Chains A and B, each alone.
Chain A
Amino acid sequence: MTDQPRAVKDHVPLTDLSFHILLALGDGVSHGYAIGKDVERRSKGRLNPTTGSLYQALRRLHDADLIAEAPAPKDPSTTDSRRQYFRLTPFGKRVFAHEARRLEILIAAARDKNLIPKRP
């Protein structure tokens, strides 16, 4: 689990699902079911992983130290002791930021070439 390279560039580009998961965790701590719903909503139904697939992706992110297990938040109305909670690691944030910036540069270039409409 720790023999993954620690250099940020070795983890980009991210897969579609990984990107969405990290994005979902950007709001803070979350658990499997909520992450799944988040991903589905944000991708407008395009990404709808099964429990197995989602957890497989979570495991890979976990192994790569981009996310980590987190203790359940204190609010008793939304927590359940059997839910497994995850959070972004600092390394994960850096990887995500790097990827987001890369995409940003590409999007800007696309706008310059009028391939996509400029921002109003």
Chain B
Amino acid sequence: MYRRWLRWYPQRYRVVYGIGMERMFIDRLAEVRNESGCVGVAFLLIREAWGVTVTALSQRAERWSPRKSTGRTSTQASNHGADWPNAPRGMAWRSIGQDARHALRALIKNPGYALIAVFTLAIGIGANAAIFSVVNGVLLTPLPFQNPEQLVRIWETDPDGYGMGFSPPNFESFSSEVTLMEEMVAYGPTSLTLTGLGDPERLSAMQISAGFFRFLGVPMGLGREFLPDEDGFVADPGAQQVVILDHGMWQQRFAGDRDIIGQTVVLDGVSRTIVGVAPRDLPFGSDDTDIWITWPFDERDLTLRGRHWLRALGRLRPEATLEAAATEFDAIAASLSEAYPESNAGWGILVLPLMDEMVGGVRTQLWILLGAVGFVLLIACSNVANLCLARAEVRGREMAVRSALGAGRGRISSLLLSESMLLAVAGGMVGLGLAWVGVRAVLGGVGSGVPRASEVGVDGTVLGFTTLVVLICGVAVGLIAALQHMRRDHSSALREGGQQVLDSGGRRHVSGILVVTEVALSLMLVIGAALLIKSFWLLIHVDAGFDRQRLLIATISLPESSYQSDAQRATLFGDLVREIGQRPGVANVAATTGLPIIGGRLTVISLPERPEEMLHPIARRRVTSDYFRTMGIPMLEGRSFNVGDQPDAPHVVIVKETLAKRCFPSESAIGKSILWGGPDGTEPFEIIGVVGDNKQYGLADEVLPAMYLEYAQIYVSEYMHLTVRAEGDPYALLPAIRETLRTLDPSLPIYEVTTMDQVLSDSVGSERFSVLLLGAFAMIALLLGSIGIYGVMSYTVSQRTQEVGVRMALGAAHKRVVSMVVRQGMVLALIGIALGTLGALGLSRVLSGMLYQVSSTDLTTFLSVILLLTTVAAIACYVPARRAANIDPLDALRYE
């Protein structure tokens, strides 16, 4: 390891002394390890690293500009040791503490510079710490389950390849026949009504197999799990009267009562015994599961292979691989396909690691954001480096005096390094504070877009990362300043009476390079943000196919115990819709089993001419007659449902335009039939209407073909979503709706109340997250970049005051001076813009997965951003240029 450090030294030095140094280091290491253990070793490493850095630098410097003979040799001591307060004689050793104290004093004497530098670094380091803590919590930390790498999510895939749930009998077949899986469990969300504890309340529930929590490897909060003979797969509904509370629910609703085990609650009219409390902070499913119950299968459920509604998890055996398990699953699927062709033909299995499934969607976004903050940090460091260089110029005279009096290059470079390390450490501490606040705020605001958000925090790994960043920044900035200092010819500075001689082009080159880098990086960031913003804008303004304004949504669910027949359910929903429609302020009202954007059930159909050819996936909705008018979906042909479409009348269906065009491309679909059916076989449905397309599963998705059934004609669902178009504020209608429902059935709660606008807004939560953050970073980059250009130009102007004065005294026009300064600055900026554009062209394809209807090389975006940056750069150059032009030639010449 020490050998790698030694590479800092010039080749010749290494060849001669390298082996000896390495050996000495090893000897020292052994001694310290024996005497002081780990702490001593750590101290030694730090000291030695410092020593190597400093001396390597001065050795290199001596090679570049060999010390001019001043009549003394390098072994001689300085004659005036007093110029360096507190310094020991000679330059051979110093403690880090010494350097730090000296640097601190220098910084305190210049508070303005120090504050700006610390703050700039704090922004860069803080942003990095914040994003890294998100990346760490979401992507890098393994899931908090036992052996999480063995856990997989499993889907059945339909013949089109879409991932679907399991059907109960299929699940049983697979889990009993597979050998490479230790275990499989099924789970699925649902909701139940809680009564008997105040107002009826709708609770979110998760149905699970027995032993679910043991499968995950997390201990219960209290009590026990579901026993095997309570499992829905084997028990009859009579034995399933148990429930597990979720931890949050237990704390809030039941005040963490430890005697809760054994008490009963009434859910959907059935009394259940509480047998346990779930583990706390389980990052599973949605965060708002209130209770956990067993699968409520009846005998029929366990025979229907065609109803796919279970979600499944599996645990691989330690020696099995994912691919091997997938192959085995495929084989089992094939055998089931043969055994049950009507339900299983063409169905397969998809297996993915659980981690991928949970975080895969945001992985790209998060890494992109981390890259973006990396850019911001580079820009911040460049700014601070330029600051340091500028200050080093100012102290050039001071440095030159010290240098001539014998303070070696090593001394000065170690001083500069100490200063930059101090700045970096201060910036790091402030930055961590900013990060801590920032992460909380961002996740709180946009958290719905980020999975595992509860596991994100500023922990040890983040601190370690930040420390690393701080070290790199400190060393980088210090090195630039130190190297630059060493290349300069000090004697000339003394001779010229302090004014910096212009042939020290080295400094201008370095700061020029820094400016170009800053501009290029800013450009890339701003282009990325602009692309995302444009994409987001297009996304939320896409035509969803329906009118989203003032639309209130609510869900009603009917418990099986009180509503056992289709007729009962049809009556309730029908009455509800009718009564609400008569309330003031209601423009239209309808009910549906599936809302746009959120989705609904998928099914298959076929045409009478070719009954064996399955068409899927087809979305299926059951709606009341006013649905299309309420939603603002245009009826293109035919009619909507009416009173005549009763269960005993001919079965009718309304289809979407896409479906009509697909099945009947050259003629009207009205009057034609499609075949659809449940487990009892298919039957023909006459098409009576064609409606306009509307988005099914998300704004960015393509339109899925869909069919609409009259809600009561075939089978009435236990739950429906109410859609109410309000004339004014949708939420103002809520009391009236609740009251209507109460008059019909006081035990029914209304839940998931929201508006369509909110639903749409939530659906783009993760895109919004990226846009906001990347936009913020781009603005910071732009700001820092323009400050950088301004700073450099302004400094150059002040350094060249003398030259400018001379020019003006000799008759140069005001304008020429201004244009000269601006031209020099713009040259740098334009180089940066050109490089940045090339970089953006190359890198923007990384974003292409996140862009909606925007190409990653969108011309208008690129051109507008280039224009923006050119303008900003021009302003940043112009302001100092004007100052140059206002210089009084006499003042300038007088200033020596």
Least CB separation from A85: chain B residue: B20
B48 at the interface (CB under 8 A from A): yes
CA distance A13 to B885 in the complex (A): 54
Chain B residues with Cβ under 8 A from A46's Cβ?
Answer: 88
Chain A residues with Cβ under 8 A from B73's Cβ?
Answer: 4-5, 10-11, 64
B75 at the interface (CB under 8 A from A): yes
B interface residues, Cβ below 8 angstroms from A: 13, 16-17, 19-25, 27-28, 47-48, 50-56, 58-59, 72-77, 88-93, 410
> Contacts A15-B76, A16-B89, A53-B92; is A59 near B13 (CB within 8 Å)?
yes
Q: List 8 A-B contacts (CB under 8 A).
A: A15-B91, A32-B21, A32-B24, A33-B24, A51-B28, A52-B53, A56-B410, A84-B19
CA distance A15 to B90 in the complex (A): 6
A29 at the interface (CB under 8 A from B): no
CA distance A58 to B9 in the complex (A): 15
Question: What 0/1 pattern do residues 3 to 26 of A give for CB contact below 8 A with B?
Answer: 011000011111111100000000
Chain B residues with Cβ under 8 A from A50's Cβ?
Answer: 47-48, 50-52, 55, 93
Least CB separation from B79: chain A residue: A13
Smallest distance from the beta carbon of A46 to chain B beta carbons, Å?
8
Contact of A16 among B23, B25, B54, B90 (CB under 8 A): B90
Smallest distance from the beta carbon of A15 to chain B beta carbons, Å?
4
CA distance A11 to B91 in the complex (A): 16
CA distance A45 to B827 in the complex (A): 56
| Majority SS at the chain B contact face | helix
Smallest distance from the beta carbon of B100 to chain A beta carbons, Å?
16
Tell me if A33 and B27 are in contact (CB < 8 A): yes
Question: What 0/1 pattern do residues 47 to 73 of A give for CB contact below 8 A with B?
Answer: 111111111111111011010000000
Least CB separation from B88: chain A residue: A16
Tell me if A83 and B410 are in contact (CB < 8 A): no
Chain B residues with Cβ under 8 A from A104's Cβ?
Answer: none
CA distance A53 to B20 in the complex (A): 13
Tell me if A31 and B23 are in contact (CB < 8 A): yes
> Contacts A4-B73, A64-B75; is A15 near B92 (CB within 8 Å)?
yes
A113 at the interface (CB under 8 A from B): no
Tell me if B77 and A36 are in contact (CB < 8 A): no
Tell me if B75 and A52 are in contact (CB < 8 A): no
Tell me if B21 and A49 are in contact (CB < 8 A): no
Tell me if B28 and A33 are in contact (CB < 8 A): yes
Task: List the 5 closest pairs (A to B, CB-CB), nearest first.
Answer: A84-B20, A50-B51, A52-B51, A15-B90, A32-B24
Least CB separation from B24: chain A residue: A32
Tell me if A83 and B20 are in contact (CB < 8 A): yes
Smallest distance from the beta carbon of A79 to chain B beta carbons, Å?
11
Interface of chain A residues 56 through 102 with chain B (CB within 8 A): 56-61, 63-64, 66, 80, 82-84
Tell me if A13 and B77 are in contact (CB < 8 A): yes
CA distance A55 to B54 in the complex (A): 12
Chain B residues with Cβ under 8 A from A55's Cβ?
Answer: 17, 20-21, 24, 55
Tell me if B59 and A56 are in contact (CB < 8 A): yes
Chain B residues with Cβ under 8 A from A12's Cβ?
Answer: 76
CA distance A49 to B410 in the complex (A): 14
Chain B residues with Cβ under 8 A from A47's Cβ?
Answer: 88, 92-93
Least CB separation from B44: chain A residue: A50
CA distance A48 to B95 in the complex (A): 9
Tell me if B19 and A82 are in contact (CB < 8 A): yes
Smallest distance from the beta carbon of B662 to chain A beta carbons, Å?
77
Tell me if B52 and A51 are in contact (CB < 8 A): yes
Tell me if B92 and A32 are in contact (CB < 8 A): no
Chain A residues with Cβ under 8 A from B16's Cβ?
Answer: 59
